Amino acid sequence: MAPIEIRHILISENVDPCCKKILQENGIKVTEKQNMSKDELTAEIKEYDGLVVRSATKVTADVINAASNLKIIGRAGTGVDNVNVDAATKRGIIVMNTPSGNTISAAELTCTLIMSLSRHVPQAVMSMKAGNWDRKKFMGAELYGKTLGIVGLGRIGKEVATRMQSFGMRTIGYDPITPPEVSASWGVEQMSLEDLWPQCDYITVHTPLMPSTTGLLNDASFAKCKRGVKVINCARGGIIDEAALLRALETGQCGGAGLDVFVEEPPKDRALVNHPNVISCPHLGASTKEAQARCGQDIAQQIVDMVKGKALVGAVNAQVLASTFSPESHQWIKLGESLGSVLKACTSSKEPYSGVQITTLGECLKKSTGFLSSAVLVGLLTDGAKTGPNLVNALTLAQETGISVTRNHSDGGEGLNHAACVVEISVNGSRYKAAGAVQADAPVLMELNGSVFRQPVSLSGNLLFFKASANPQLLPSVTGVLAAAGVEMESFSASAARGGDQWYCVGMSSLLSDLGSLKSVVKEAAQISV
């Protein structure tokens, strides 16, 4: 992928100083402004190409829509629930987090809360500070031999499992993504939630907050648990239904809770915080010097690597870009955009596209269908607007406008002995087709609407496409029109077929100011600059 230009970044929170240092060392200007209100951020963001936040800054749709130059939102930490990812995607803005920056710190806090719940450590400390000596009041339980249920077996869940196994705990878990054989390799037996709830002495959650995980632990699931089960949440407030947790604590169905996160932060309703069986922290999961340094370093380095075209790590809404950071992908992206532009120009109907089918041919393009499809859509949908489509938002914009996008791949060449991309679009019941490839490290057009070119068309410079029937006067007539307009012909590509109407292509020194001058010579004409 071509490098993304990032010249000026705003850091809106207290991010480790190494972040600013790394960015500046790589030629990126950095401004730090903390504790801005929403209105202040909305007014300020217009000036920047990038924004780096932690968890306090709320990057809303209003902020994103005001950011006319923004290309990247970097979250120095895991989770991006303080960023409106959908709004950013529609604007073609990459949203990036640091998926591993605070893994160890969050896992260690989780383990700390598990141990504190088992031995009532915070309560005993407060009792001592009050001048008491209540040995019997704080009778605890060993972790050895107990069962820990881990809901969410990503990086943090894995680290919690390996640490608590050292206490002799049995670790079981649930995760819809991590394969059971993978979690089994680090000692976690996977099962359904229905099977997990009744077996657990302790339950810890490590999932993102999304509709499917909101209220995952609720009245119904608490009822299925062992009486006295202890729960821990160092992930996101809302995964455990707070009202249901309070009810379970009051009845004794839940024997204790360790909470680092809340639905509202700081929580105005203090019922959970004040409950004697709850150990609470003010969202400290990532609050270690090491985690903050690591997150600051990671987000800065990830942005620098993206800007330099080296790699894309941590992008939560631009997975299609992950395979574009190689030199050979650059020309294929240009090919896709050019094929889209050619078909857009040569589509006689002005009706909207109803369907787009992109087919990649050749084994070397097996993993390229995604970004090639987005590139084609960029070419098809670009209309000259400043905030037009890019590889991040092209598919979303196509779907919003009712375009059905189909992607196919064939390892065989279907008559072609090299890698190629074939694009077909449907407009008002008619179909249009273009096929191209990358030859000698340059994109070329091989076929247009049934006309196969004898010599592939180099997709660069100013190109005139026209449809006409073959006759000896065709080229001299077209050349005459160009000459009359002060335009030089630089190249000419003709169809291999001789009968019927065919498409031709002329490379020109500049675009024609009026295609109407060709009406008496050809049946259809279009021009593009690529």
**In this structure, are residues 352 and 401 in contact, taking their beta carbons and an 8 Å threshold?**
yes
- Angle, CA 108 vertex, CA 103 and CA 109 arms, to 5°: 105
Strands, sheet with 489-493, edge to edge from the N-terminal-most edge strand:
489-493, 501-508, 462-469, 524-529
User: Could you give the 3-state DSSP secondary structure of residue 464?
Assistant: strand
> From the candidates 75, 120, 283, 294, which is the catalytic residue?
283
How far is the CA of 150 from the CAs of 106, 135, 391, in angstroms?
14, 31, 37
Verify cis geometry, omega within 30 degrees of 0, for the bond prior to 282: no
**In this structure, are residues 252 and 227 in contact, taking their beta carbons and an 8 Å threshold?**
yes
**Ordered DSSP codes for 472-516:** TTHHHHHHHHHHHTT--EEEEE-BS--SSEEEEEEEESS--S-GG
Assess whether 265 carries a catalytic annotation. yes
How far is the CA of 32 from the CAs of 17, 25, 287, 293, in angstroms?
10, 16, 20, 17
Assess whether 119 carries a catalytic annotation. no
**In this structure, are residues 152 and 130 in contact, taking their beta carbons and an 8 Å threshold?**
no
Residue 86 has which token pair?
């959908």
> From the candidates 40, 250, 265, 363, which is the catalytic residue?
265
Residue 103 has which token pair?
């893994």
Computed over its alpha carbons, how large is the radius of gyration of the chain? 30
**How many angstroms separate the CA atoms of 162 and 173, rounded?**
13
Which residue type occupies 359? Answer: T
**How many angstroms separate the CA atoms of 141 and 523, rounded?**
87
> From the candidates 236, 275, 294, 330, which is the catalytic residue?
236
Assess whether 54 carries a catalytic annotation. no
Q: Which residues are identified as catalytic?
A: 236, 265, 283
